[in-house]
Structure 1
Amino acid sequence: MKARLALIAWLVLVWMTLWGDVSAGNALGGVAVALVVTWLLPLPMLDPGIRIRPVALARFLVWFGWDMVVSTARVVMWVFRPGPPPTLLVRVRLRTSSDAMITMIMAALANVPGSLVVEAYVAERCLMVHVLGLPGDAAEAVRAEVAALESRIVAAFGTSRDREELG
């Protein structure tokens, strides 16, 4: 019921925005249209599989911000050095099976400079990650970083089932 009221309020807001007039008559017309639309075209209730935990979200955002700074500095350093930077392709196995969590992990990796998910094997819970600017054989370090990222994302956004999967 709460979600239906939120949908009706949203539809009334869209209606009033489209008409470009904030008035009582326009609001009543929007309510009437919203009720008809939600009655004739009911949407199924979907659970996106995301829960927000404020403390864990704050920890994730601080870590993610710091990782952005460090990764940007690493990429800038390699841009100004002569010669090609070291690159690495690492296959990383994830512990979570949630599509929402895997998508958030991929988005976080893609937004950090110097890393990119090249391929995702969802059925196998694996990601192929391209990393720029880490010297030497850093495959285990990359796997550890992705595992830590996965833990932070699941702690901040995962359901109780997602958190149980991580152990």
Structure 2
Amino acid sequence: MTGPPNGEPEDGGEQSASRRGRFGRWRDQAVALGWLVLVWNLLWGEINWANLASGLLLGSAVLVFFPLPAVTFGGRLRPRALLAFAGRFAVELVSASLHIARIAVQPGYRPRGAIIAVQLRVRTDLNLALTAEAVSLVPGTLILDVDRESATLYLHVLDTHGPSDLAASRERTLAVERRIVRAVGSAAELRRVETRPVEKGTSS
């Protein structure tokens, strides 16, 4: 009769895999809670102890009573790329806010809106959620719908004057996705963001 090497119990591998599985689930829950707290504070427009505490309570309640679909993180965190994403996002946030302010105070000006569809290149729930959130936080852009199956975002963009503005809005959305993948994506996802999808848009 032969036994496991080094005298280890036969179910040691199963127990180890079970522990890794539990750790992975707890890690995913912690990451989801962290993003919920961040989104809560961004919606309030201010990060303080009260918003952090209420975000933790609300996020915990959401995860307990309204479980989110399992979202696994298979990428790698790259601090330099994450800082680059944060810096570029801050610049675009200020620029878009100034643009909307100019439209608001310009007498007699009626901005024209448009609805466009942008198909993302990385079809994971995490990438879809992060890209949609980052795009919708910039003034002048609103997420109308999300097609999870095809990873397509339907956006309403403000102040468009022709096809060139629609193309620029699509490129900005894909650039946001590219910066997010560079910050937290896997090597395979990094290669995938070089592919350009076929997109559609209709003005209104």
> What is the TM-score of this pair, normalised by structure 2?
0.57
Q: What amino acid does structure 1 have at the position aligned with 2:88? A: W
State percent identity of aligned pairs. Answer: 26
Instruction: Please say if 1:142 is aligned against 2:147.
Output: no
Aligned to 2:123, the other structure's residue is in SS state: coil
Change over 3 Å in CA distance of 1:83–1:128 after alignment to 2: same
Q: 1:61 aligns with which of 86, 110, 135?
A: 86
Bigger relative contact order, structure 1 or 2 (CA pairs below 8 A, ≥6 apart): 1
Does structure 2 retain, via aligned residues, the 8 Å contact 1:74–1:133?
no
Are residue 108 (structure 1) and residue 138 (structure 2) matched? Answer: no
Report the CA distance shift for 1:97/1:131 in structure 2 as closer, same or farther (over 3 A): same
> Could you tell me how far apart the structure 2 residues matched to 1:133 and 1:139 are?
10
Given the alignment, which residue of 127, 136, 145 partners 2:153?
A: 127
Q: For residues 79 and 154 of structure 1, what CA distance do their matches in structure 2 show?
A: 34
State the superposition RMSD in angstroms: 2.4
Aligned equivalents of 2:156, 2:181: Cα separation in 1: 22
2:104 alignment counterpart: 79
Residues 1:115 and 1:132: Cα distance change in structure 2 (over 3 Å): same
* TM-score, scaled relative to structure 1: 0.68
Q: Distance between the aligned counterparts of 1:125 and 1:62, measured in 2? A: 26
2:99 matched to 1:52? no
Q: Deviations over 1:131-166 (max 9, x none)?
A: 112433311111111111111010011122322322
Q: Distance in 1 between matches of 2:138 and 2:192?
A: 25
Query: Would the aligned equivalents of 1:75 and 1:114 in 2 still touch at CA under 8 Å?
Result: yes
**Which of 170, 178, 185 matches 1:158?**
185
Mapping of 1:20-31 within 5 angstroms?
Answer: none
Q: 2-side partners of 1:119 and 1:111: how far apart?
A: 15
Distance 2:185 2:103 in 1: 35
CA deviation profile, 1:88-125 (whole Å, cap 9, x unmatched): 11111211111101100000011101111111112112
Instruction: Tell which deviates more after alignment, 110-119 or 79-88.
Output: 79-88
Gaps of 5+ in 2: 1-18, 27-70, 195-204
CA deviation profile, 1:48-89 (whole Å, cap 9, x unmatched): 345321010111111101000110011101111224222111
Structure having the higher Rg: 1
User: What amino acid does structure 2 have at the position aligned with 1:77?
Assistant: R
Amino acid at match of 1:164: R
